[in-house]
Structure formats: C-alpha cells, structure tokens
Structure 1
Amino acid sequence: MRFKNRFRCATNYGKGNSFNCKTCGRRGNRKGKKSKEGKTPAMRSEDLKSRSINSEAILSLNIRGFAVKGKFGWVRSICLKERQSIAVFQETRSKSVTDSWVQALWGDPNFGFLQKDAVGKLGGLLVIWDKSIFEVESYTCCEFFLAFRGKWKNNGEKSTIVNVYGPHNDRCKKRMWELLDKLIRSIDTKWLLCGDFNEVRSCSDRFNSQFHQNRADRFNDFISRNSLIEVPISGRKFTRISDDGVKFSKLDRFLVSDGFMSLWANLSVIALDRNLSDHCPLILRDRVLDYGLTPFKVFDEWFNCEEVDIIIKEAWGQEVRGTRKDCAFRDKMKNVKMALKKWSLSRFCSLDNEINELKKKVREWEIKADDNTLSDSERTLWLDCRRRWMEKERVKSNMLRQKAKIKWTLEGDENSKFFHATLRRKYNKCNFQGLLVDGIWHEDPVVVKNFIFSHFQKLFACNSYYRPRILGGFSSGSNLNFASVGPVVPFQRWCGPVGPVGQTPPIGSVQFTEGSGSVCLRISEEEASALEVFFFGGGNIGSNKGMCE
C-alpha cells in the first residue's frame, strides 16, 4: 500500500450564492438568509473574529451520522470552543459534503478536508485540518481507515495521522490489522492512530458487554509490534455507552509512536460529554499545566562524588530568615535543595558532550594504532581515554535507569532509545492534567488544588484541638518537599558530633538518603524542642504568616 500523490482539498467557499447541503438538508446562501430551522450553516462574522487555532490539539469523534437533528450545531460548538488544528470523524453516514458545509462546521475559512464516503447509510470518514497549521502532502484510503501524511508548519516535522473506524466482524478486524501493519511498515515517520477501533484491550474496558480475549490479544499484539503507545484518557473510563444505558465500552483511543511523543512531549486526552452521540468526543492536547513545585529527587551517582558532602553541609549551615524554628528548618531544606540542583546542573549537564569527545579521542587512537605501533605513553593515554569514556557511560546509564525505575535484563545493556521511550511513557502516564468534579472537568491548577485540599481536609477532620494543621493551603511558600529526606527520628534531647556517613543517624538528626549513600545533619537541641512544641502542641507547621517572616 502506497500513499497517493494527490489529495482532495476544500476551496475557500462554494461556488455561487446558494447551496443545498446533501448531508443535513439545510439550505442557505452567502447573504445570510436563514433556513427553515432558523439558522444558517454559513460562517458568522463573530465566529471568524473569536476563533484562534490551538496548534497542538486534535479532535476525534464517532458522530453516528451528521444528519440527526442537532448534531451539526453540537459539533460546531465543540470546534469553536476547543479550537483544534485537526478534527477526525467516524461514522458520518454521508456520501458527500460541500465545501461551505465543512466551513460552517469548522468555523474558519482556511481549511482543507478529506472524506471517505459511506457505504449506503453505514460508515463514512471525514478529516478536517487547518491549513495554517498542518499541510497535507499525500493520503491513502481503504474500507477501514483514512490516512493522510503532512508536515507541521511551526517546526517542519512530518507525521502521518490515521482516522480509524474498526469493523464489527472478526474476519474484517484481522484484515484491518494486516493493512495497518503494512501501512506502518511502508514508511518511516511519526505515527498517530485515532478513532473508533471497535475493540478493547482488556476485560476492564467493557461492562455488561461480551469480552473476547483472542480479539483483545490481537489488538495488543498490533500495538506491541508497531511500538505504539496509548495516551491515557482523563474524564471518563468508558468512551461508548449503548442507547439503553446498559453496556459500557472503551472503544475510542489515541495511539502514538515514540517519534510523535517526542514531537508532543506533554500529551493528554480529555473525554468530553457524550451529549447527542453514543461516543464521547476525545481531545488530544499538548499542554503544560503548572501545579507548583515538583518533588526533589536525589540520584545514587551524586553520592559517588566527594563534593556532595561539602555542598550539603555548607548549604545547611547558611543563615536563614525565619524566626520560628520550624520555618528555619524549612528554609534550610530549601537551601540544600537549591545548592544540589545548581551543582547537579553544572556537573552533569555536559555529560553527553564529554562522552562524545572521549569517544572521538578513542577512535583517533585506534586509527593510529592500526597504522603504527603505539608507544607505552601513547598506549597509556589511549587506555585512560577509554576508561573515562566507560565511566561516564556508566554514570549516564545509571541515571537513566533510576529515572525509568526499571531493571535491565542484561547487565550493561545500553538501549538508550528504549529508555527514552520508557521515560516518555512514564511521564505521560503520571502527567496530571485535571480533575473531574460533579461531571465538570477542571484544569485550573488553583481550582484543582482547592478541590483536593477540601477533599482530604474532610477526610482528616477532627474536633481535637491537638491535631496539627498546615496553613496557607497550597501556597508555594508552605510546600515542604521531603522526597529526599530520610526518616526523622523522635524529637529527643541529644548533643554530640554528627556521625560518619553510612552509620545510623543519631537522635535529633535528619538523614539525606538515596540508594547506598547518606549524609547526616544535626538538629540542635533548641531546634528539636521547638519542632516538638509546634508539632505535638497542635501548632501550625511551616506557615508563611505571622512570626515566620
């Protein structure tokens, strides 16, 4: 299967002053005369002024027929609100659409579209894109999908997007997987497969409906063979609900390749309200939401560097502004975090460049050794370069392995592509995009944090005065990141020197620990007493108000 070198593209507007839409039956004209329903599908001037394209958003929806009354307006409102750059529709149940009808649906005159006609009143695929964002170069079509290839104008990267509408018949499903396999192997590009696959991956994707394990296995094998990644869906567990409200299934999804995920690093899928269709509209977006400070991580490799002990102890001994001891403790922790962060950037940011330089020198020595016999000093330099190269490769591999939180099957295996893909999968899975509260999807970090705070405040509510509280909600100043702090032992009086690294921390100390290394820092008797009074006496830990300033 090869891509065709031509594609059908919409013009700016239909010819003539009038049109009769064959899909929904509406009639209108360019002068704005209203149809029998009281609305014209033509573009309104206020829509043209308000619409701004989101270049990193794609809409997918099984519309189950555009001809049903009210669906055109519903889809139009989604397009105008979400401002996606590409929209793919399945089961349009139409044989042809006009340019003016697509323009009215899309909400912008600068568009292109492709269509696969329905067979009778079944099937049908439609793809619409914004020409200022994406430029289609070629496309291919079969009975199960419509694939189009093009490039993003903002960065020039090429990718292929496949609009899929899976069959119900088991034999046809096998045929669809074979055609998609052949298509993906035919060209090396960044892939995005989306739409209604009419198949699930596990029994948890169905409720009150029949599950076939062999069909799910074939679907999972297809995803594994082509190294595809499913983007998790937020907002809904199931994407399709039967008309009688009994059967629930997750049939719609987005599958991306590693290359596409590197192009859009912060992918997320939001399921919108089902409304007039039996399927939920899905929005794929690349959006970075700031939910405040991230946990502070410590790498095992840090403790192999002698200067780490000095940096931590110097940062811990710096003077802090807080007058209350608990606030002073918090500020000391911040000083340690910032000092380690600054040191880590200067120490490891150029690791790749150093590895490349050493590899280059090793190759030069090896080429020279092929032509002439090396002297003892030259051989020493050669082996030293190779030793340093292997050491830095080991450091890089250990840090990647710790980031990915997985174990290698073979010791010393260095499949960087695999680990980078694993890191992207892990980041994408843990990427928090919002919260569904009472059927409404919220993305504003302040609103989401308040909902979470209120939820846990109710769970841990107690009439006891002696329960400790944290003031300030989720303000950045009161966030205490203890991800890198080991267990804090009970607050008891203790005086004496700090113990050696690796030994059990004395009472009244804080232990920084990661892997096999640790650094113990002493808390003075005065500080321990203050923390004990504030914590067990029902005080407010780490507040930015009052005495903390």
Structure 2
Amino acid sequence: MKIISWNIRGLGGFEKRKEVRKLVGDQKPFIRCLQETKLSHCDVFMCSTLWGSSQHAFSYRPSDGASGGLLTLWDTSEVEVWTSETSNHVLWCRGRFVKSGDEFLLANVYAPCDDGAKQRLWDSLSARILLTGRERVCICGDFNAVRQPEERRSARGSQRSMDIDPFNHFIDENNLIDLPLIGRNFTWFKGDGLVMSRLDRFLLSEEWCLTWPNCKQVATLRGLSDHCPLVLSASDEDWGPRPSRMLKCWTDVPGYNSFVKEKWNSLHVDGWGGFVLKEKLKMIKVALKGWHQAHVQNLPSRIESLKERLSVLDQKGEEEELTEIELAELHGVTAGIHSMSRLHASISWQQSRSLWLKEGDANTKYFHSVLARRRRRNAISVIQVGGVTLEGVNPIRQAVFSHFASHFKNPDMERPGVDNLQFKRLSHFERGSLIKPFTEAEVKTAV
C-alpha cells in the first residue's frame, strides 16, 4: 500500500507534469492526492500526462477562485473506488484495495488560510468521521495549520499560533494518528530560505493503523513546487536506486553515429574473427556506458544533484538563517532545476515516442509482469543472523555489510601472538588417559 500527497501548485506547466509523472513512476503509488492552486478543469488527457499509460482513473474538485483545487488519481488494477464526492476544501473517495479486499475512506484536503474557514472545515470533517464509525479513514493534504510552534518558522521571528489549538483539538477529538515525519522537519518552503512550515501530513484512524501497522510517512525532495511530496507506505521495501537500462533513442542524439564509428575503428584486437567481434563489442559497451552518462543520463543526475543541494540549503535554513551568498545560491539552484527540467523534458518526450511504444520494449503488460515476477523471486525479505531473524531493508543491509566487512578487514593490522608464552603441558600419564577406553563405571557415573 502506497499513497502520495503533494501540493504541486501549477499543473498547467509541462515541466511540473513531467515531475509529477516521474514521481509516480519512481514510487509506484496506488493512490495519488494532488492539491492545486488553480485547477479549473481536469480531463483524461491531463491525468494521462500525470500518471502515464498504465491503468488509472481520477476524481477532481475544481478550484474556487485562486485556491482549493483537488485531484485524486488511483491505479485501477490495485484500487477500486465506488463513490467520490466533494465538499468545501475536501474530495472524498470510498473504495477498497483489490488484492487485500480492505475497504477505506480517503479524504484529499486543501485547507483555506482563514482561521474561521479552517474551523468550519475541521467541524465538517469531524461530522463525516463520526458518521463513518469504525472505518479505515485516511485524511491527507495541505492543512495550512501546524500542531506546535516548532513546526513553523517565520522571517520575522514571531510565531503565529491561532490555528494550533483548534487543529490539535480536531485531531484528538477524532482519535486520529499523526505519524512521525521521516526525512524532513518542514514540508513547505517559501523560497527565501527564511520561512518554512509543516503544513502537509497524513492523519490516520486507529482502524487504518491496525490494518497496516507498519505505516510510515516520508517527505521526499522537493523540486519545482514549494511543497515536499509526502509518501505514505506500508511494508514496502526500498533497496535503493534501480539499475539503468540501455535506451534506443541514442540514435536520435547528435553525434551518436560518429562516436560509435570512431570508437569502433579505434579498437584493435588480435585473433580470429569471432573473438575480435566479441571483444570489440565488450569494449564498445563500456565506451557507450560513458557516453550515456555524459549525453543522456547526465541531465537527470544533474537535476537530482541540484535537488540534493536544495535540500541541504533547506535543512540549513531550518536550523539557522542563510547568508546572502547561500540565499543567492538557493535562487540559482531553483532556476537551474527549472531550466534543466525543460531540457530534459524535450529528451523524455523523444524517448516516449515510436521506438518504445511501437516495439513495446518498456510499456507492455508482459514486460511488467515478467519484471514483477523477477523482483519477487530475487527479493530478500528475511534472513537469520546468529539465530536472530531480521526483517526490513536497513537491518538486512547492515547485517550483510557487517558480514562481509568482517571477512575483508585489513590483514596488516596487529594481532596478538602466542610467541614466548608458557603453556601448561600434559604429563605422559595424562596424555595416555585421553585415548584410554571408557570403563563401565565411568559410563554409569556420566549417565
């Protein structure tokens, strides 16, 4: 089970749609809850650009003026939604997870900024939760409120606290569970490096947490939006980056043909024809890997590097005020993400065209089914170390690392020796007793 909530602010931009789609592809969510400042209209084409070619459906609430737009998308092969209804600042969806059959009620929330309007929203949510009884309820989105002063930082130094008590009262009154946030302290950043808050979160009912006791919410790196995407997951194992695959769009990159021709002619291998061909193919593969890093894969990696640098600046801004140089760097990094995203979008648009879709190399149902079976077969879910059973990615990863680290320690390190040590020695009689046959009396005594 995996759900993503994100206030994207500006789905009309192609770059942001590509970023939303990339996050969907990386995280493989069952449900995606988006909050949009100006969402006056939503159709099948827009949702396809956000989700991709896989099966999906959606429900949306148009924005009221300049705020309040809500969009919920879900994977129809994993989630079945029966009803969808809207109220002020909320988009409700009721359904079930197909594989487990567990039913749920999901609320996508985009709270207003006015304190009075927020209180009316808390009251309406409480009334709806009261009617549901003991159901699995998940309320997520941008609440535009914090639970304690430490969750908000202002450039003026003063902390606005009018919304803290009503928001806590709403959570406590409905017995909602606010999971600890992993990865970040704040989820919204103004962009000046001085103002930040934790406005986004998942609130879960007790029944939801009983069904999925291993739920966790993680704030991932923000990119084009001023909000961090939140991921709610249960029992999902993330073993790190996936290996890259060769792209057939290389022939469309300028200089590819001349690079291959020059590199192939520069390789010299002696031997019979079959051996020469095999060795040159191995060497050209290594050369193409470096070319791929520089011309195709380098763009997304540079974008991710900028996002990581942006995260470092954000985290530093959470602890102390940024200097003028750091603020200038923050604005430069943000501008770099925008420009590189536009450049990468043109390449991605080319990649998604004829070769992949025509030949079915990456988007067929068969390909995904084979990939899923291989991942399940190769997955390591449980290992035993010293009689202790370990589960989860981090414990298993640490156990494997410690095991091989103990085998490959520095052999030159000083070890205690046994030279010049005086040991006790057995006498001649004692040595003979070691091989003496057991007597019947000794066996009875031992038994």
Question: Partners in 1 of 2:20 and 2:174 — Cα distance?
Answer: 32
Match of 1:166 in 2: 111
Residues of 1 paired with 2:236 and 2:74: CA distance? 23
Alignment of 1:338-353 (within 5 A): none
Q: Provide the rounded CA distance (Å) in 1 between the counterparts of 2:167 and 2:415.
A: 56
Q: Which residue does 2:217 correspond to in 1?
A: 269
User: Does the 8 Å contact 2:190/2:226 carry over to 1?
Assistant: yes
Match of 1:81 in 2: 26
Q: Is contact 2:141-2:202 (8 Å) kept?
A: yes
2:149 paired residue number? 203
Aligned to 1:317: none
For residue 173 of structure 1, report the CA deviation from its aligned partner: 0.9
Whole-Å Cα distance in 2 between the matches of residues 175 and 162 of structure 1?
16
Partners of 2:161 and 2:238 lie apart in 1 by: 40
Corresponding residue to 1:95 among 40, 46, 70: 40
Q: Which runs of 5+ in 1 are unaligned?
A: 1-55, 292-333, 342-431, 434-442, 451-471, 479-536, 541-549
**Equivalent pair of 1:289/1:445 in contact (CA under 8 Å):** no
- Distance change (3 Å), C-alpha of 1:232 and 1:216: same
Partner of 1:283: 231
1:33-60 CA-partner distances (Å, limit 9, x unpaired): xxxxxxxxxxxxxxxxxxxxxxx11111
Structure 1 residue 64: Cα displacement: 0.9
Instruction: Look up the SS of the partner of 2:184 in the other structure.
Output: coil
Cα distance in 1 for partners of 2:396, 2:210 equals 29
Percent identical among aligned pairs is 33
Please tell me whether the aligned partners of residues 80 and 96 of structure 2 are also in contact (alpha carbons under 8 angstroms).
Answer: yes
Q: Which residue of 2 aligns with 1:256?
A: 204
1:57 to 1:290, Cα distance in 2 relative to 1, 3 A = closer
Q: Kindly indicate whether the alpha-carbon contact (under 8 Å) linking 1:271 and 1:281 is maintained by their aligned counterparts in 2.
A: yes
Q: Which one of 164, 186, 189 corresponds to residue 238 of structure 1?
A: 186
Q: Could you tell me which of 402, 410, 427 is aligned with 1:474?
A: 402
Q: Are positions 1:70 and 2:15 aligned together?
A: yes
The whole-number CA distance in structure 1 between the counterparts of 2:44 and 2:162 is 43
The change in CA–CA distance for 1:106 and 1:289 in structure 2 (over 3 A counts) is: closer
Distance 1:289 1:282 in 2: 17
2:57 aligned partner, one-letter code = G
| Aligned residue type for 1:57 | K
Q: What's the offset of the Cα at 1:140?
A: 2.4
Read off the aligned partner of 1:260 and give its amino acid letter: W
SS at match of 2:222: coil
Deviation at 1:69, TM superposition (A): 4.7
- Residues in 2 aligned to 1:121 and 1:290: alpha-carbon distance in whole angstroms: 38
Q: Which moved more, 1:195-204 or 1:214-223?
A: 214-223
What amino acid is aligned across from residue 75 of structure 2 in structure 1?
A: D
1:226 aligns with one of 174, 192, 211: 174
The Cα shift of 1:444 comes to 5.6
Structure 1 residues 70 and 473: alpha-carbon distance in aligned structure 2, compared to 1, 3 A threshold: closer
Do the aligned partners of residues 539 and 66 (structure 1) sit closer, same or farther apart at CA in structure 2, a change above 3 Å counting?
Answer: farther
SS of the residue corresponding to residue 179 of structure 1 reads helix
- Give 3-state SS (helix, strand or coil) of 1:277's partner: coil
Shift, 1:163, TM fit:
0.4
What is residue 111 of structure 1 aligned with on the other side?
Answer: 56
Q: Is the 8 A contact 2:18 2:49 kept in 1?
A: no
Q: Which residues of structure 2 form unaligned runs of 5+? A: 240-385, 407-413, 418-447
Give me the TM-score of the superposition, normalised by structure 2: 0.54
Q: Could you tell me which amino acid in structure 2 is paired with residue 180 of structure 1?
A: L
CA distance in 2, matches of 1:152, 1:473: 36
In structure 2, give the amino acid aligned to 1:101.
M
> Which residues of 2 match residues 51-70 of structure 1 at below 5 A?
56-70=1-15
**CA deviation map 1:229-283 (0-9, x unaligned):** 1122211111000022210100000110111112212111121111100100111
Paired letter, 1:60: S
Give, in whole Å, the separation in 2 of the partners of 1:135 and 1:198. Answer: 30
Assess, with a 3 A threshold, how the Cα gap between structure 1 residues 264 and 476 changes in structure 2: closer, same or farther. farther
Cα separation, partners in 2 of 1:104 and 1:67, compared to 1, 3 Å: closer
Q: How does 1:114-153 map to 2 (within 5 A)?
A: 114-153=59-98
Aligned to 1:178: 123
Q: Secondary structure at the match of 2:163?
A: helix
Q: Which runs of 4+ in 1 moved over 4 A?
A: 288-291, 443-447, 537-540
d(CA) in 2 for partners of 1:236 and 1:248? 11
The 8 Å contact of residues 153 and 197 in structure 2, kept in 1 or not, is answered as yes
Once the two structures are TM-superposed, the CA of residue 182 in structure 1 deviates from its matched residue by 0.6
Q: Residues of 2 paired with 1:58 and 1:127: CA distance?
A: 10
CA distance in 2: counterparts of 1:258 and 1:60, whole angstroms: 20
- Distance apart, 1:226 and its partner CA: 0.7
How many residue pairs align between the two structures? 261
Give 1:124 shift: 0.4
- CA distance in 1 between partners of 2:46 and 2:36 (Å): 17
Question: Conserved in 1, the CA contact under 8 Å of 2:35 and 2:71?
Answer: yes
Cα gap change, 1:149 to 1:444, in 2 (>3 Å): same
Q: Does structure 2 conserve the Cα–Cα contact (< 8 Å) formed by 1:240 and 1:249?
A: yes
State the AA in 1 paired with 2:403: S
8 Å CA contact 1:147, 1:160 repeated in 2 = yes
Q: After the TM superposition, which residues 323-472 of structure 1 pair with which residues of structure 2 at under 5 Å, given as runs?
A: 449=398
CA distance in 2, matches of 1:74, 1:244: 22
What is the rounded CA distance, in whole Å, between the counterparts of 1:206 and 1:171 in structure 2? Answer: 20
Task: Give, in angstroms, the shift of residue 290 of structure 1.
Answer: 10
Partners in 2 of 1:139 and 1:184 — Cα distance?
A: 16
Q: 1:476 Cα deviation (Å)?
A: 10
Aligned pair in 2 of structure 1 residues 539, 279: CA closer, same or farther (>3 Å)?
farther
